Homo-oligomer: A and B are copies of this chain.
């Protein structure tokens, strides 16, 4: 049996899977904050090219991947599916553990799966420049690479805490040709407001989104791009799960449990949605989203309408949220420091089609170091959350005296995140829990936004 299962490039999926077509309860519409009426495509036109807006509202089950996008995917895709034989041995389990490894991409994570089509559709509609934000730096790196592939300028607002913790990420973006700013900046009203409130703010993904949107809407040749949360972003990521399904077919296995970390929801959706299709059809597969205990929107947030950004520039989205004014603790898994979960993932959680778990960062790093030693891949801090949950499930299976087949998304490598590991070894990392009061105070402010 091979440890690594590769697909040929000619087996690359040629369509994305749109889970909206199969959801028993369709997602609620995004609302205009002033009118509380559903937003239409025209409301999104200043931000996105029409092709992406159409995907955002589509209910077609499958959407064709353009040939040019397939060609760019083939730079690194299909990605390997790996049987974690060494991890199984280290854990002394007879569970079968597989991981889909998205770290072989240009940016080292799953993010180029959507950056490539986003850059492509923008180019098709004559856009000259794309502005975006980035948390951990993965999304900004991916979009920098994708924009360069299609000859578009790229500017990135990077959350300050990541900008400071991850200098290599900025250099990566520069290498791919992008301009990078530490957010909050003084260039936007959103940034100036944040700096006035707290000059030392670590920033947040929500705030960086506000800055990027503000800069993008002011120029007719410029659009905005988002690396997670939105329906079309999750759609593009389904190439991960479709590949994984084909690869598992070669092994004869089908997962009992699928695990992925959840920040906005795109890597979780990418791996799980093609399997949730089966679950909706009656399969018993369990899909578990893992979030940091220091940003527990799925396990301790509320399902409400809320803004996607701190400043309130986006439509109101129906999602599990801690409130758009919530500031997560300054943990190293920057990609998971977001106040809300995508509309699609939120609806699926509400309907009991997926589960959620919150884990503290020390347990995650312990899991990541073990994984690195035995499997030979340093995981990104975000990915460590998935591994920690895998170990929990393995221990549970052992206690119950059963064997499970577990699939998880190793959504990125950690070569550019080594400072996080140093801080872990130096004992500088702490677990962090918010009190119930801290968690509810920002959520209560959302009452006025509800329709």
Q: Which residues of A contact B (CB under 8 A)?
A: 2-4, 6, 8-10, 74-76, 86, 104-106, 108, 112, 145, 148-149, 167-168, 171-172, 174-177, 369, 372-378, 413, 415-416, 418-419, 421-422, 425
Are B419 and A418 in contact (CB-based, < 8 A)? Answer: no
- Rank and list the top 4 A-B pairs by shortest CB-CB distance, nearest first: A106-B376, A415-B415, A168-B418, A171-B418
Are B172 and A418 in contact (CB-based, < 8 A)? Answer: yes
Q: Which residue in chain B gives the minimum CB-CB distance to A86? A: B75
Are B373 and A176 in contact (CB-based, < 8 A)? Answer: yes
Residues of B within 8 A of A413 (CB): 415
Task: Give the distance to chain B from A362, nearest Cβ to Cβ, in Å.
Answer: 15
Are B171 and A425 in contact (CB-based, < 8 A)? Answer: yes
Known: A104-B104, A108-B415, A174-B425. 9 other contacts (CB 8 A): A6-B6, A148-B373, A149-B374, A168-B168, A172-B418, A175-B418, A176-B373, A413-B415, A415-B416
Are B172 and A378 in contact (CB-based, < 8 A)? Answer: yes
Residues of B within 8 A of A167 (CB): 418, 422
Task: Give the distance to chain B from A171, nearest Cβ to Cβ, in Å.
Answer: 4
Task: Give the distance to chain B from A178, nearest Cβ to Cβ, in Å.
Answer: 11
Q: Provide the bound-state CA to CA distance between A168 and B9, in Å.
A: 33
Q: Provide the bound-state CA to CA distance between A2 and B104, in Å.
A: 17
Are A421 and B175 in contact (CB-based, < 8 A)? Answer: yes
Q: Provide the bound-state CA to CA distance between A193 and B425, in Å.
A: 33
| A415-B415, A416-B418 known; A175-B378 Cβ under 8 A | yes
* The residue from B86, B176, B372, B422 contacting A372, defined by CB atoms under 8 A apart: B176
Q: Provide the bound-state CA to CA distance between A248 and B322, in Å.
A: 54
Residues of B within 8 A of A376 (CB): 75-76, 105-106, 112, 145
Are A2 and B6 in contact (CB-based, < 8 A)? Answer: no
Task: Give the distance to chain B from A281, nearest Cβ to Cβ, in Å.
Answer: 33
| A106-B376, A177-B373 known; A74-B3 Cβ under 8 A | yes
Task: Give the distance to chain B from A374, nearest Cβ to Cβ, in Å.
Answer: 8
Residues of B within 8 A of A375 (CB): 75
Task: Give the distance to chain B from A151, nearest Cβ to Cβ, in Å.
Answer: 11
Q: Provide the bound-state CA to CA distance between A86 and B73, in Å.
A: 12
Q: Provide the bound-state CA to CA distance between A372 and B418, in Å.
A: 21
Residues of B within 8 A of A10 (CB): 2
Are B75 and A3 in contact (CB-based, < 8 A)? Answer: yes
Residues of B within 8 A of A369 (CB): 175
Task: Give the distance to chain B from A232, nearest Cβ to Cβ, in Å.
Answer: 22
Task: Give the distance to chain B from A257, nearest Cβ to Cβ, in Å.
Answer: 24
Are B106 and A415 in contact (CB-based, < 8 A)? Answer: no
Residues of B within 8 A of A378 (CB): 172, 175
* The residue from B3, B108, B175 contacting A9, defined by CB atoms under 8 A apart: B3
